[in-house]
Amino acid sequence: MNNPLLRGLTQSRYSRRDALRFAGYSAAGLALAACGVQGQKAAAPSPSAVADFWSTRKKNGRVVFANWPEYMPEDQAPLKQFQQATGISYEYKEVIQENAEFFGKSEPQLRAGQPLGYDIIVMTNGLQLGKMIQLGYLTALDHKQLPNFAANAGASYKNPAYDPNNTYTIPYQAGVTGIAYNTKYVDEDITSIQSLFDKKYEGKVGMMADAQEVGNFGMFAVGIDPDKSTQADWEKAAAKLKEQRDQGIVRKYYAQDYIDAVAKGDVWLSQAWSGDVFQRQLAGEPVKFVVPQEGGTIWIDNMAIPKGAANPVDALMLMDFLYKPEIAAELTSYIQYVTPVNGVQQILAGKSDDDSKALAESPLIFPTEADYAKLRPYRTLTNAEEPVYNGLFQTITQG
């Protein structure tokens, strides 16, 4: 089935986000992620050290790309075009199923100075990517070799708080966590996060089980910017979320099946990911999506070069190639989440097929400037902060 929109609606598609957001609840992922992470925090490399490193690296004609399932068109056309344009052969491996599990398997090798066998990996801004950066397991990028990124990356994707100046990462895809609601049962326009805490929706609200997702919304609800938050702020947000739970407002803390619950009316409104709602809207289901006025979460899946990669120059070339708008448009047509690349919306709008136009016109795929202004990332946590943060919010969702 070649039509990407129809594919998304007719297959029981194992969502890229389903695996990602709940890595912390996999027993294997938790056990692996806990192993061997006591290393010392690495100092940021100096500009001269970065320049010295890259001055000795050359194109080798090969690149190995480790990614998540459902994150590249099935025909791998963008990669084939890269090979044709550069002469660099590629090997594409869908080996990343969870951030925690991938980090847990990779960390012992990287700590021992052994290469992973991948030149590019994709990880989400959050706990495990933060550890990769803190422990010195990623290669600082040579931005002189990333002209397409410099020219075409959206402003919201440059200089992120979790990786200042994009020292180690550049975005691959992104998405938004907001509120989805079923218009058959909700007879008002939802604009505020306070609707998730409203007693009139008792037993009809869905929240996410992931600590960072629910924690961000708890902080938005009490007027706190998650990115600037302190432990005292987390405690305030946790108290708000505990009150919501104890009042019976929350029907369930969801892993990956919240969108079915909203569509069926099992819950009337819920925390939600933009791409999931977009696919339901295309199917004609009565589901709306909004970024609340208090704020929503932007999450970003990032490309990085792991320490010891055999082909770093080839990796940089592929990373930069994916920032060509026409190539990024192919990725967006298939993945149906938010692209970090400027110019894609115009390309899709200019195509003659209805599918491309639907993508181009959707604020779930191309957030408005007003929405971007309300979006915040997850709080970047230190090793010491992580158990405190998780303890506060997991107690609510699991208890």
Please check whether residue 350 lies inside any domain of the structure. Answer: yes
If asked whether residues 387 and 250 sit together in one domain, one would say yes
If asked whether residues 164 and 276 sit together in one domain, one would say no
If asked whether residues 261 and 393 sit together in one domain, one would say yes
Please check whether residue 36 lies inside any domain of the structure. Answer: no
- CATH classification at residue 102: 3.40.190.10
If asked whether residues 246 and 153 sit together in one domain, one would say no
The three state secondary structure string of the chain is CCCHHHHHHHCCCCCHHHHHHCHHHCHHHHHHHHCCCCCCCCCCCCHHHHHHHHHCCCCCCEEEEEECCCCCCCCCHHHHHHHHHHCCEEEEEECCCCHHHHHHHHHHHHHCCCCCCCCEEEEECCHHHHHHHHCCCECCCCHHHCHHHHHHECHHHCCCCCCHHHCCEEEEEEEEEEEEEECCCCCCCCCCHHHHHCHHHCCCEEEECCHHHHHHHHHHHCCCCHHHCCHHHHHHHHHHHHHHHHCCCEEEEECCCHHHHHHHCCCCEEEEEHHHHHHHHHCCCCEEEECCCCCEEEEEEEEECECCCCCHHHHHHHHHHCCCHHHHHHHHHHHCCECCECCHHHHHHCCCCHHHHHHHHCCCCCCCHHHHHHEECCCCCCCCHHHHHHHHHHHHHHC
If asked whether residues 260 and 392 sit together in one domain, one would say yes
Overall average pLDDT of the 34-46 stretch: 61
Please check whether residue 181 lies inside any domain of the structure. Answer: yes
Q: Is the pLDDT assigned to residue 45 strictly greater than 90?
A: no
pLDDT of 55 reads 96
Q: Is the pLDDT assigned to residue 5 strictly greater than 90?
A: no
Q: Is the pLDDT assigned to residue 31 strictly greater than 50?
A: no
Please check whether residue 382 lies inside any domain of the structure. Answer: yes
If asked whether residues 263 and 361 sit together in one domain, one would say no
**pLDDT per residue as tens digits for the range 340-373:** 999 999 999 999 999 899 999 999 999 999 999 9
Comparing 140-144, 330-334, 351-355, the range with the smallest average pLDDT is: 351-355
If asked whether residues 87 and 184 sit together in one domain, one would say no
Please check whether residue 11 lies inside any domain of the structure. Answer: no
Please check whether residue 372 lies inside any domain of the structure. Answer: no
Q: Is the pLDDT assigned to residue 377 strictly greater than 60?
A: yes
Overall average pLDDT of the 54-72 stretch: 97
If asked whether residues 288 and 319 sit together in one domain, one would say no
Please check whether residue 360 lies inside any domain of the structure. Answer: yes
**pLDDT per residue as tens digits for the range 83-98:** 999 999 999 999 998 8
If asked whether residues 282 and 330 sit together in one domain, one would say no
Please check whether residue 34 lies inside any domain of the structure. Answer: no
Q: Is residue 10 very low, low, confident or very high in pLDDT (cuts 50, 70, 90)?
A: very low
**pLDDT per residue as tens digits for the range 229-248:** 999 999 999 999 999 999 99
Overall average pLDDT of the 184-208 stretch: 98
pLDDT of 196 reads 98
If asked whether residues 182 and 129 sit together in one domain, one would say no
Q: Is the pLDDT assigned to residue 27 strictly greater than 80?
A: no
Q: Is residue 4 very low, low, confident or very high in pLDDT (cuts 50, 70, 90)?
A: very low
pLDDT of 41 reads 63
pLDDT of 261 reads 96
pLDDT of 39 reads 53
If asked whether residues 110 and 238 sit together in one domain, one would say no
**Structural domain of residue 261, as residue ranges?**
177-297+378-397
If asked whether residues 98 and 118 sit together in one domain, one would say yes
Please tell me the total count of domains within the chain: 2
